[in-house]
């Protein structure tokens, strides 16, 4: 009997980010829809979590986990890196060497490789741009999630053919059926309020240089924003939060809105969400969601809302899938690149 093809998928899963978890779920679903028998192994930052939630084998994606990766790669028929916004250095200067080391390891071992639906953003360091272009020229298939990503790779000297596809998480459209039985906590529900429900989801946005984001550390516990997050003294962030808080107060005053603050990724986004709530005057009309929802639960929760304001790409993608009108109040590169798709 011929053994099932073995595919290793590598990305940011295992950290609890619903966007990344949605991407992995859609990749697995897509692979299984193409092949009845397939053996998928996910390289994850939390293998136990990934295996439990996605029903696949998982191994460590840490640099120190190379001893676990080598035997897996030797037996694999395909290595997939992506999707998600992996090719950037704004969250950490360690991103590029980490992802390229995984990709180069697979290519050097002679394994068919694929870059799948990855987002690319301006990289500050020329050395990293060169590293990316050289590594991708050795990959068998390169696909990115938007035209801007393709243009950036070409501008860095990538000669390989680049195909523009969509963010893999759009595959959730085929997985969403009804409301799934998921609802925001009862006190935030429409049945207890006669005004519109406005969802607001804000993200942490830091320039961490060559450090590792604290929210990726196992010991990290989200707390009220202050010196621990580095955001309290950032004037641009303060102005932004104050403006959104004024908008929330205006919505309460003019249309009796109920404001639901929904941190998409609790570990990373709760501090900025707490700071935002603290700036709103009409706090009795505000509900802060404190539980971490799965991607399908988030789609169902956003479907209950009358409008949604989000700063994470996948929060807007979830809103689009749910059919809820949404606004992106900031102009991050990866949001601008998806304006046409989201429209």
Q: What pLDDT shows up at residue 1?
A: 60
At 98-123, the pLDDT tens digits run 999 999 999 999 999 999 999 999 99
Q: Which of 41, 37, 38 is nearest to 51 (CA)?
A: 41
Can you read off the two tokens belonging to residue 150?
């393709």
The C-alpha atoms of residue 90 and residue 101 are separated, in whole angstroms, by: 18
Q: What pLDDT shows up at residue 192?
A: 53
Can you read off the two tokens belonging to residue 314?
């996948």
Neighbours of 49 (CB within 10 A): 16
Alpha helices in the chain (DSSP H): 18-34, 47-54, 66-74, 95-108, 126-136, 147-155, 235-255, 266-279, 295-303, 313-322, 333-336, 339-342
Q: What pLDDT shows up at residue 64?
A: 63
The C-alpha atoms of residue 22 and residue 280 are separated, in whole angstroms, by: 31
The stretches in the chain having pLDDT less than 50 are: 180-183, 186-190, 207-233, 337, 341
Q: What pLDDT shows up at residue 339?
A: 53
Q: What pLDDT shows up at residue 215?
A: 44
Q: What pLDDT shows up at residue 220?
A: 44
Burial (0-12, 13-18, 19+ Cβ within 10 Å), 191: exposed
The C-alpha atoms of residue 251 and residue 45 are separated, in whole angstroms, by: 40
């Amino acid at each position: 009997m011929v053994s099932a093809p073995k595919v290793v998928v590598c990305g940011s899963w295992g950290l609890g980010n619903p966007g990344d978890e949605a991407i992995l779920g859609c990749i697995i679903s897509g692979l299984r829809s193409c092949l009845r028998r397939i053996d998928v192994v996910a390289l994850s930052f939390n293998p136990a979590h990934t295996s439990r939630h996605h029903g696949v084998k998982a191994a460590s994606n840490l640099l120190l986990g190379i001893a676990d990766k080598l035997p897996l790669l030797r037996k694999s028929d395909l290595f997939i890196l992506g999707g998600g916004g992996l090719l950037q250095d704004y969250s950490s200067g360690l991103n590029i060497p980490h992802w390229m080391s995984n990709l180069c390891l697979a290519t050097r071992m002679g394994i068919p490789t694929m870059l799948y639906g990855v987002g690319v953003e301006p990289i500050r360091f020329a050395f990293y741009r060169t590293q990316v272009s050289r590594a991708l020229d050795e990959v068998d298939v390169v696909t990115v999630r938007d035209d801007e990503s393709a243009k950036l790779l070409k501008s860095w000297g990538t000669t390989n053919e680049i195909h523009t596809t969509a963010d893999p998480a759009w595959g959730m459209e085929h997985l969403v059926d009804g409301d799934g039985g998921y609802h925001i906590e009862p006190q935030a529900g429409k049945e207890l309020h006669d005004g519109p429900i406005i969802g607001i989801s804000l993200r942490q946005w830091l320039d961490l240089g060559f450090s590792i984001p604290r929210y990726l550390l196992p010991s990290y516990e989200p707390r009220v924003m202050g010196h621990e997050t580095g955001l309290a003294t950032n004037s641009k962030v303060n102005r932004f939060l104050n403006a959104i808080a004024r908008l929330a107060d205006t919505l309460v005053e003019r249309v009796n809105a109920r404001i639901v603050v929904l941190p998409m990724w609790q570990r990373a986004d709760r501090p900025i969400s707490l700071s935002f709530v603290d700036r709103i005057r009409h706090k009795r009309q505000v509900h802060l969601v404190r539980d971490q929802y799965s991607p399908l639960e988030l789609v169902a929760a956003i479907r209950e809302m009358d409008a949604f304001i989000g700063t994470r790409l996948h929060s807007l993608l979830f809103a689009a899938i749910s059919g809820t009108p949404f606004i992106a109040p900031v102009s991050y590169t990866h949001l601008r690149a998806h304006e046409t798709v989201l429209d």
